[in-house]
Structure 1
Amino acid sequence: MNDTVYAFDARDIHGAERRLEEWRGQVLLIVNVASKCGFTPQYKGLEALQARYADCGFSVLGFPCDQFGHQEPGDAQEILDFCSTTYDVSFPLFEKIEVNGANAHPLYAWLRAEAPGVLGSAAIKWNFTKFLIDREGRPLRRYAPATTPERIEADLRVQLEA
Structure 2
Amino acid sequence: MEGAIKTVVGVYLKSSKGKENLGGKEFQSLVKNQLKNIMTGAEDNEAVTNMRQQLDNNQDGKVGFQEYMNLIGYLAQALSNQRCLEKETQAESSIQETQPEAAANAQAEPQAAKEAEKEDKPVVEKAANPEELKPEEEKKTDVEQEEAKAEENKAEEKIKTEEAS
TM-score, scaled relative to structure 1: 0.26
Query: Could you say which structure has the larger radius of gyration?
Result: 2
TM-score, scaled relative to structure 2: 0.26
Name the structure, 1 or 2, with higher relative contact order (CA <8 Å, separation 6+).
Answer: 1
Between Structure 1 and Structure 2, the one with more helix by share is 2
